[in-house]
Amino acid sequence: MHEAITHTAVAVSYLWLIPALPALGVLVNLSLGALLGKGAVGFIAPGTVAGGFGVALYCLVQILQLPPGSALEQTLWPWISAGNLQVDIAFRVDALSAVMICVVTGVGFLIHIYSVGYMHDDPSYARYFIYLNLFTCAMLILVLADNLPLLFVGWEGVGLCSYLLIGFWFDKEANASAGKKAFVVNRVGDAGFLLGTFLLFWSLGVGTHSLSFQDIAAHAKSIPLDTVTLITLLLFVGATGKSAQLPLYVWLPDAMAGPTPVSALIHAATMVTAGVYMIARLNFLFVLAPATLTVVATIGALTALFAASIGLMQNDIKKVLAYSTVSQLGYMFLGVGVGAFSAGVFHLMTHAFFKGLLFLGSGSVIHGMHGEQDMRRMGGLRTYMPTTYRTFLIGTLAIAGVPGLAGFFSKDLILAHAFSSSPVLWLVGLCAAGMTAFYMFRLVFMTFWGECRADEHTKHHIHESPATMTVPLVLLAVLSIVGGYVGLPEMWAWGNRFDAFLAPVFAAAQGGEHHMEMGLEYALMAASVGVAVGGIALAYVLYVARPELPGQIADQAAGAYDLISNKYYVDELYDAVLVQPALKLSNLLWRVVDVGIVDGIVNGSARVVGASSSFWRRWQTGNVEHYAVSMLFGAVLILVFFAWHSS
């Protein structure tokens, strides 16, 4: 099968435009933003992304027209040239990258439009769009990169923008430290990524290496199994950091401190999926290490369940969505971990649609409620914000896995693959799916149904959001419905076109192709639908029909309730085990080593010099005569020396 697919590359000259357009937006708004005013900034920033989306669509059309397995390539210039390492700045668009750039620019464009409305009254309007464009540029470099080092540039770039945007309202200390937390936790992962890259280069063997994906693919088979397992595990550490998986997920819930469109773009639709993309991109490497894939799938499934269970108890609307994102990312890792790379990427895409929609919807709610994020003070909003409510409901149905919407198809595909790999993983995923349906509908019921629990003043001002915000909501809602139909189950209508489109990219991974029995597949589907409906029904009972029940349950199972509502005390654990010792050590290094020893040496040497100078400066009388006498004395000394020496 591997040989049957042609890997032809077409050299084109327009790929650089895709990241360059947002970069242009950064430059223009950075240099002229204050001059141009909000109108122009709000036009340039989404405009450049729209331009990128245009080029991305053109690339997609090109790829579709070329024979399967084709790719568009553009090498810009040599970048790193050191010994047998020859890395180029080169972009490459194959089916996977084409999907990614379309998602990034498309969803990114909608979120840019939305931001124009959402951030309209913010004083740092231009700065916001500079960061957002910079993020888009870095994310596009990440998905366009032809080699691992360039991917890492994008990887770090999105990390930086994430940090900048989480701490966008840095005048509140909580926001600034949330940004720092995201950055530091990501560094842990990035260290793993870098080590993996180094180890990969080191183990590629003799000859010049560009670390481009073709180069890695060509030499991957010659790497010993132990080494390739270690490499992929290290790379996966990077993925857990960037994509918020156990045990490095802790930064993502805190990242909700940023503006809500940022949460939608960076912490739901694009950046956090970079880890999934990276593993899918390096699928030929990961399939060589079955142990790593098992780890990936296990971590993914556990994260999905773990985060979903925390999401059950959260009261902050964005925190629920954050834990939901962590959980859904777990699904994607479960997908790629069981070798269903295209299913993982499929879920990545549909998740970008519906989770982007849900975040933007929650942003619309927060906007309408004047910054209120606590669902206990919401309720009944469906009458105040009908468009937001309807679109949000569509997104919720999609994520809950209700048949016919995008999330159903992608989640089901992953669960089906998981089942054929290991029923245990499937069961874990199924439980998480039930929880997802429950907490998402809990959110909907608490926010949009029932009586409004806000105070009179807030209630008086609740309003539907402006068109710049609702139009992206509607578009994303449409995508959340139709987005799944590119990847129908095999036995329906046109089957899984998405999988067929991506198949050449994952050619190396499809050695063990399996076709499930139709009956089993329907059974699995029925199970997930049943779980989803059960979750929804439970949420209805607890939060609509008998709203007094949750309190009673919490009283009866106080221990479990405390454990979960405190997020399993993971933050406290990390604080005690990692942060406090690090702080103590840093304090020690600061007070003893730095102040005492390093500064002591520096200041001490300065003091010695100063003391000797205050002695020797008496020699410098400042009197010209004394200097003249010294000169003559020196001349005489020289003469006397010669007289002595030559006699």
Partner 1 sequence: MNTGVFVLLATLLVVAALGVVLARSPIRSALSLVVALFFLAVFFLLLDAQLIAALQVIVYAGAIMVLFLFVIMLLNLQEHPAEMARAGLRFLAGTLASLFLLATIYFTNRSGISNAQGMGAIPDGFDSTAQIAERLFTQHLFAFELTSLLLLVAIISAVVLAKKKLA
Partner 2 sequence: MTAVPIGWFLILGSLLFSIGALGVLIRRNVIIIFMSIELMLNAVNFVFVAFARQLHSLDGQVMVFFVMTVAAAEAAVGLAIIISVFRNRETVNADEFNLLRW
> Which chain residues interact with partner 1 by CB under 8 A?
625, 629, 632-633, 635-636, 639-640, 642-643, 647
Nearer residue to partner 2 within complex by CB, 582 or 635: 635
Partner that binds at residue 647, options partner 2, partner 1, none, CB closer than 5 to 8 Å by kind: partner 1
Separation between Cα atoms, residue 608 and residue 611, nearest integer Å: 5
Tell me whether residue 558 or residue 640 sits nearer to partner 2 (CB atom).
640
Q: What are phi and psi of 511, to 5 degrees?
A: -60, -50
State which of residues 13, 65, 556, 623 lies at the interface with partner 2 (CB under 8 A): 623
Instruction: Tell me which DSSP letter residue 405 carries.
Output: S
Q: Which residues neighbour 237 within 8 Å (Cβ) at sequence distance 6 or greater?
A: 188, 189, 191, 192, 193, 196, 248
Which of the listed partners (partner 1, partner 2, none) does 82 bind, with a CB threshold of 5 to 8 Å by partner kind?
none
Can residue 559 be called a binding residue for partner 2 (CB under 8 A)?
no
Minimum distance of partner 1 from residue 622's CB (angstroms): 15
Contact of residue 622 among partner 2, partner 1, none (CB under 5-8 Å per partner type): partner 2
Q: What is the DSSP string of 45-78?
A: HHHHHHHHHHHHHHHHHHHHHSPTT-EEEEEEEE
Task: Considering the complex, state which of residue 551 and residue 622 has its C-beta at the smaller distance from partner 2.
Answer: 622
Q: Can you give the C-alpha Rg of the chain in angstroms?
A: 30
Determine, following the binding rule CB under 8 A, whether residue 612 of this chain makes contact with partner 2. Answer: no
Nearest CB to partner 1, comparing residues 545 and 640:
640
Please identify, using beta-carbon distances, which residue of 585 and 635 lies nearer to partner 2.
635
Is the previous residue joined to 247 through a cis bond, with omega within 30 degrees of 0? Answer: yes
Among 632, 637, 638, 640, which residue interacts with partner 2 (rule: CB under 8 A)?
Answer: 632
Q: What angle do CA 140, 480, 428 make, to 5 degrees?
A: 90
Q: Does 582 bind partner 2 (CB under 8 A)?
A: no
Partner that binds at residue 621, options partner 2, partner 1, none, CB closer than 5 to 8 Å by kind: partner 2
> CA dist 493 to 84, 402, 482, 487, Å?
51, 19, 15, 10
Contact flag: residue 621 with partner 2 (CB under 8 A): yes
**Contacted entry of partner 1, partner 2, none for residue 639, CB cut-off 5 to 8 Å set by kind:** partner 1
The answer to whether residue 625 forms part of the interface with partner 2 (CB under 8 A) is: yes
CB of 627 to partner 1, least distance (A): 12
Provide CB contacts within 8 A for 433, sequence distance 6+.
401, 411, 415, 528, 531, 532, 535
Nearer to partner 1, 370 or 626 (CB): 626
Q: Which two tokens stand for residue 291?
A: 């142990």
CB neighbours (10 Å) of residue 642? 10
Our finding on whether 624 is near partner 2 (CB under 8 A) is yes
Nearest to 324 by CA among 232, 252, 394, 260: 252
Question: Among 174, 601, 628, 637, which residue sits at the site for partner 2 (rule: CB under 8 A)?
Answer: 628
d(CA 411, CA 216): 31
Between 406-421 and 290-311, two packed helices, what is the crossing angle to 10 degrees? 130
622 binds partner 2 (CB under 8 A): yes
Residue 616 C-beta: closest distance to partner 1, Å: 21
Cβ 242 vs Cβ 191: under 8 Å = no
Between the CA of residue 123 and those of 107, 227, 449, what are the distances in Å?
25, 52, 34
Q: Measured between alpha carbons, how far is 137 from 154 in angstroms, rounded to an integer?
A: 8
Least Å from the CB of residue 197 to partner 2: 58
643 binds, among partner 2, partner 1, none (CB under 5 to 8 A by kind): partner 1
CA atoms within 13 A on the CB side of 642: 5
Quick check: 174 binds partner 2 (CB under 8 A)? no
Among 518, 608, 629, 640, binds partner 2 (CB under 8 A): 629
Could you say whether residue 609 binds partner 2 (CB under 8 A)? no
Q: Which is nearer to partner 2, 82 or 624 (CB)?
A: 624
Closest CA to 513 of 423, 422, 426, 417: 417
Q: What is the size of the binding site for partner 2 (CB under 8 A)?
A: 10
Partner from partner 1, partner 2, none contacting 640, C-beta within 5 to 8 A by type: partner 1
541 binds, among partner 1, partner 2, none (CB under 5 to 8 A by kind): none
Q: Which residues would be at the binding site for partner 2 (CB under 8 A)?
A: 617, 620-625, 628-629, 632
